[in-house]
Amino acid sequence: MASKADLIRAANAIAAKLGKSVDTSGKTNAQLQTLVSELRAEADAVISGSISSNDTAGLVAEAKGLADELGTEVATDNLSDDELSELIGNLKVGVDEKAKADANEAGVEAAAEAKEKSDAVASQKVKDVANEKKPPFYIADGRSLVCLPGVLGPGDEIKPTDLPGGREALMLHVKTGLVCEG
């Protein structure tokens, strides 16, 4: 004789395969055995084809719901369960393709918006650089210089007092292209 836990597991497993849910709480072993027997009989009938596990009204409702998602109408009158299942399969493919297209369109719009923002920021930076007044002497682009205040990078102002050689050293750096005059 099967244990109560085994009967509950069997009832739930068979019911799940039939697309049903069953309430096993508070049932005795005898009641659970009866429930399992009834579910097995129903499963056997489904397998032999004498009854359909699909509810025609449910299939029609699902087909119409999918058609609504696609913004179209479908004729479900006089269709067999197999034909309804095939129609639902085709509609699901259409819904998936529509979702992918919508996601792709949203991605394209987001990318265009991001590019527009990026272009605006870059344009503003160009304007800022063009309007920026350069110091009398500054480090050239792509260069750096170690001096008394520390390491100076591209665009940093440098003064004769920053170098041990003073103005003479500064002018030498201007001649070599390390420092630019503003």
Q: Is residue 177 part of a domain?
A: yes
Q: Is residue 57 part of a domain?
A: no
Q: Are residues 69 and 122 in the same domain?
A: yes
The domain boundary, picked from 12, 30, 52, lies at 52
Read off the DSSP letter of residue 138: E
Give the position of tokens 């393709």: 97
Q: Is residue 47 part of a domain?
A: yes
Q: Are residues 76 and 120 in the same domain?
A: yes
Paired residues of 180 in beta bridges = 138
Q: Is residue 60 part of a domain?
A: no
State how many domains the chain has.
Answer: 3
Q: Are residues 40 and 70 in the same domain?
A: no
* pLDDT tens by residue, the chain, 182 residues: 678 888 888 888 888 877 788 888 888 988 988 988 888 888 777 666 554 545 677 777 777 777 777 788 877 777 777 777 787 778 777 767 777 776 777 777 777 787 777 777 777 766 666 566 788 999 999 999 998 888 999 989 999 999 999 999 999 999 999 999 98
Range of the domain at 168: 137-181
Q: Is residue 58 part of a domain?
A: no
Distances from the Cα of 106 to the Cαs of 61, 80, 95, 103, 167, in angstroms? 30, 38, 16, 5, 59
Q: Are residues 125 and 143 in the same domain?
A: no
Q: Are residues 40 and 72 in the same domain?
A: no
The domain boundary, picked from 129, 146, 164, lies at 129
The domain boundary, picked from 90, 108, 129, lies at 129
Closest of 130, 136, 134, 129 to residue 174, by C-alpha: 136
Q: Are residues 120 and 69 in the same domain?
A: yes
